[in-house]
Structure 1
Amino acid sequence: MDASADAALGPALEGVVGLPATELAARVRSGELSAVDVVTAHLRHLAEVEARIGAFRLVRTEAALAEAAAVDASPDRAALPLAGVPIAVKDNVAVTGETATDGSLAHVPQPADADHPVVARLRAAGAVVVGITRVPELCLYSATDGPGTVTRNPWDTARSSAGSSGGSAAAVAAGVVPLAHGNDGMGSLRLPAAACGLVTLKPGRGVVPGPVGVNSWFGMAENGVLATTVDDLRTGFSVLSAAGPQAPVDSGPLRVAVATRSPVPGVRLDAAGRAAVDAVVAELRAAGHTVLTREPVVTPAAALGTVARWLAGADVDAEGLGLDRQAMEPRSRTHARLGRWVRRAGLVRPRTAEAFRARMEGFFADVDVLVTPVVAGPPLAARPWHERGFLANTTANARWAPWTSAWNLAGLPALVLPAGPGREGLPTSVQLVGPAGAETRLLWLAGELERRLPWRRHAPVFDPHPPTG
């Protein structure tokens, strides 16, 4: 930000950075704040903290201020649910005039001539795109890094913000934007949310527009948002799903299953993760819900089917994006090569996903919500994982994050929220899963838990509104 723009921020804008998206939008709708001033304040904060977190591949300063001015001039401003809200967009969907690299230096520069539908919906709701956030190459891994860059966790910059929506999560946790786009093929929204103390929802299949022009990992990937409050998440989901305003709905007492066994053999949940689940279970019981222990069975066929789609999706993405495979990172090149073999062998079978979805429909026949851990321990170290091989990356990912990918294969909604005592200065989280169509139920339950177990909204060092008293 230049000095003149910085000086233009008067006392009235003190404290604007770090406010929830819903509050910012309400103030812009009423005319109390202008979208230009809100975006200017957030761009200033971005400039102050970006060097420490490495969240953005591209900052759109001039374009964002022009978009904010258009919001201020809009005759519909008073009706826009995200009026003037600064947002970030993950680097694997189209933003008009920008090139989506999917985290790869091997991409073919080709600015988009139209927004992806989710970006179009966010902009139509009044949101302003301030930047494009970093991802690991082809969004394949649960740490976000690449040649010359490592995206860091605002809670502890020695740790990763996870992946693949790691740049978006870091930006929200550092207060740079109150809401950020991401997507989730095997946990790529939920893992960064868990690492960075955020709330997110992977929608069920077909609820939000999916990828356009490239593969969705054979139906496993879904778009969503990362936020610091359930109200912000609810608003973002409403915009992306075009479902209209999602008012909180009292779902009444629920039957809640709890499962803590890892689907990956040999992986055990650490004490802090177990304490997070226990804290949520205690509050659910206190709120009058019925809690029982019941483990969903992830069959070997389902596990292999998930991995097959992950491998084959890399090959399809590299092909669809026209990547120079020799210019790809070695780990990704191996990944895509294995994916080509998987495709040729016919190992991506629709009936595998259909059978697992049917099995999980049976599981939810007499259960309203499932509670599970999200990750086995603290986030991976913030380091250049792209310099290590395919096996080192996939082993680290599988051991850290065994509880998320099954719900991508099943196409069922899954929500992550902060809970519990934390891990030595880092947040802890739990996952709520529901049957098809349960997004509203999960949001309602997350709101109830937010009231009973409130969480810190931003990482302490970056918190624009540190707690007092």
Structure 2
Amino acid sequence: MTAWVGRTAVEIATAVREKRVTPREVVAEHLDRIERLDGRVGAFRTVRTEAALAEADEVAARGDLAQLPLAGVPVAVKDNVAVRGESLRVGSAATSRTPADADHVTVARLRAAGAVVVGLTNVPELCVFCTTEGVHGTSRNPWDLTRTAGGSSGGSAAAVAAGMAPIALGNDGMGSLRVPAASCGLVTIKPGHGLVPAGIGEGDWFGLAENGPLATTVEDTRLMLAVLADTEVADPAEPAPFKVAVSLRSPLPIAPVTRPFADAAREAAGVLIKAGHQVRRADPPYPASLGTTGLRYWTAGTAVDAEGLDPRQLARRTRVHAAIGRRFVDGVRADRSREELRRRMEPFFAEHDVLLTPTLAGPVPGAEPWHERGWLRNVLANSRCSPLTPAWNLTGWPAMSVPFGTLPSGAPCAVQLIGRPGTEATLLALAAQMEQRHPWQRTAPLE
């Protein structure tokens, strides 16, 4: 790698502020890596080569350079978040090619902090599924190019795991940050509802979807979250002992947790025990209706996002998903299931500070043309790999994915940390302890 590719966002920003490197030099190195590697990885729908270099020069000329927390840091942005001057395609041929006339608030905050947008990343059509492929390309896992990078923030995760950007913006409606992060060996946090502005699609999937960071370290994750939230997020300092529940139980009987993923959670629990935390096995009281509740919200959110789009230009799986969801839209708008789920979970989280689970129940699917396959086959593939993430979108509570261990294939494995509302700093602190005691390789060895 070159001098600044593979460095963390914190390292890059510090060097830029101290004028040991210019934003243009940093951005140019990352653009060169994108040019060399993205033909194999498929992370980007569009690369902003000239625009990014011009923005890097603008950052260098800023009078407040020495105060910018992300000074000169390249960032990749998921292609369902508006970037001024770029079209917002959301992985579809049915969306408009008209350039956005303004940045989404999260992009505006990243740029205000000194970050430079190097490109928009691939997503599955309308960000529905946990595999990232379609008319704009296929995003592959940089650790195993035969498999998908996950979804729906698959392109953003692939970009960071391949060292094409140190951080990326994604979002999470049913696991769309945590699934690709787990697949690609990254750190992410789905913030609790209201901490980071959403404004995703046509209603945030009824409030399930949240914007959040993808990074290779806990420190970068904390820094990017602070920028996105426009508030301080406590440093992940050594936390006091916490009560941690460990659960290996899948909420969906059709998708049990397979051995490598369960083993990772057990080993992570051992790390937390050695760090002084009170850790015990305990399963949260998942309701039997959780799967059907999630399916209603998932499909109804797509139905709303698909309104006004030409169905002839949508993939068959998307059309079916939206058609099923249309019959649920009115019911979801009046639904009380989320409040009932929160009430059901509150006694468990009164007894435990944090819940530790595997992030995934099984490996993500192969990097294949899933957008050409039937709806049911896609839904089953999604459900079998990621049954453990949607519950925490329904509650609106914070949840992290943290790299931990490797699969038999050599690809990364991961665990999930979940907390009560407002406990993002607690989750980051525990993740930092795990990183210190059980570090991971941050970038895939593509060269």
Segment drifting more, 266-275 vs 375-384: 266-275
- SS class of match (1:150): coil
Task: State how far apart, in whole Å, the 2-side matches of 1:421 and 1:42 are.
Answer: 27
Task: State how far apart, in whole Å, the 1-side matches of 2:332 and 2:28 are.
Answer: 50
Kindly state the Cα deviation for residue 89 of structure 1 after the two structures are TM-superposed. 0.3
Task: State how far apart, in whole Å, the 2-side matches of 1:268 and 1:448 are.
Answer: 28
Aligned partner of 2:345 in structure 1 is 360
Identity rate of aligned residues, in percent?
A: 51
Tell me if the contact between 2:296 and 2:328 (Cα under 8 Å) persists in the aligned partners.
Answer: yes
Tell me if the contact between 2:127 and 2:151 (Cα under 8 Å) persists in the aligned partners.
Answer: yes
Deviations 1:206-237 (A, max 9, x none): 11000256221101000001000000000000
Alpha-carbon distance change, 110 to 332 in structure 1, aligned in 2, over 3 angstroms: same
Deviations 1:75-128 (A, max 9, x none): 011000000000000000111011111111111222111110110111111000
Aligned partner of 1:78 in structure 2 is 66
1:449 to 423, 434, 444: 434
Tell me if the contact between 2:251 and 2:290 (Cα under 8 Å) persists in the aligned partners.
Answer: no
Kindly state the Cα deviation for residue 147 of structure 1 after the two structures are TM-superposed. 2.9
Kindly state the Cα deviation for residue 357 of structure 1 after the two structures are TM-superposed. 1.4
Alignment gaps of 5+ in structure 2: none
Deviations 1:399-440 (A, max 9, x none): 111100000000000000111243321111000000000100
Tell me if the contact between 2:122 and 2:138 (Cα under 8 Å) persists in the aligned partners.
Answer: no
| TM-score, with length taken from structure 2 | 0.98
Amino acid of the structure 2 residue aligned with 1:182: G
Task: State how far apart, in whole Å, the 1-side matches of 2:393 and 2:190 are.
Answer: 8
1:29 to 17, 23, 41: 17
Deviations 1:270-328 (A, max 9, x none): 22112211211111111111111111122134432221111111111111xx3111210
Task: State how far apart, in whole Å, the 1-side matches of 2:212 and 2:404 are.
Answer: 21
Instruction: Map 1:61-140 to 2 at 5 A.
Output: 61-140=49-128
Tell me if the contact between 1:116 and 1:212 (Cα under 8 Å) persists in the aligned partners.
Answer: no
Segment drifting more, 137-146 vs 355-364: 355-364
2:215 to 219, 227, 237: 227
Aligned partner of 1:341 in structure 2 is 327
| TM-score, with length taken from structure 1 | 0.93
Tell me if the contact between 2:91 and 2:136 (Cα under 8 Å) persists in the aligned partners.
Answer: no
1:424 to 391, 409, 426: 409
Task: State how far apart, in whole Å, the 1-side matches of 2:26 and 2:389 are.
Answer: 35
Task: State how far apart, in whole Å, the 1-side matches of 2:226 and 2:234 are.
Answer: 6
1:326 to 303, 307, 312: 312
Task: State how far apart, in whole Å, the 2-side matches of 1:183 and 1:283 are.
Answer: 29
- SS class of match (2:207): coil
Instruction: Map 1:284-323 to 2 at 5 A.
Output: 284-319=272-307, 322-323=308-309
Task: State how far apart, in whole Å, the 1-side matches of 2:311 and 2:211 are.
Answer: 26
Segment drifting more, 243-252 vs 193-202: 243-252
Q: Number of matched residues?
A: 447
Tell me if the contact between 2:174 and 2:390 (Cα under 8 Å) persists in the aligned partners.
Answer: yes
Task: State how far apart, in whole Å, the 1-side matches of 2:130 and 2:200 are.
Answer: 23
- SS class of match (1:201): strand
Instruction: Map 1:195-234 to 2 at 5 A.
Output: 195-211=183-199, 214-234=202-222
Alignment gaps of 5+ in structure 1: 1-12, 463-469
Amino acid of the structure 2 residue aligned with 1:289: H
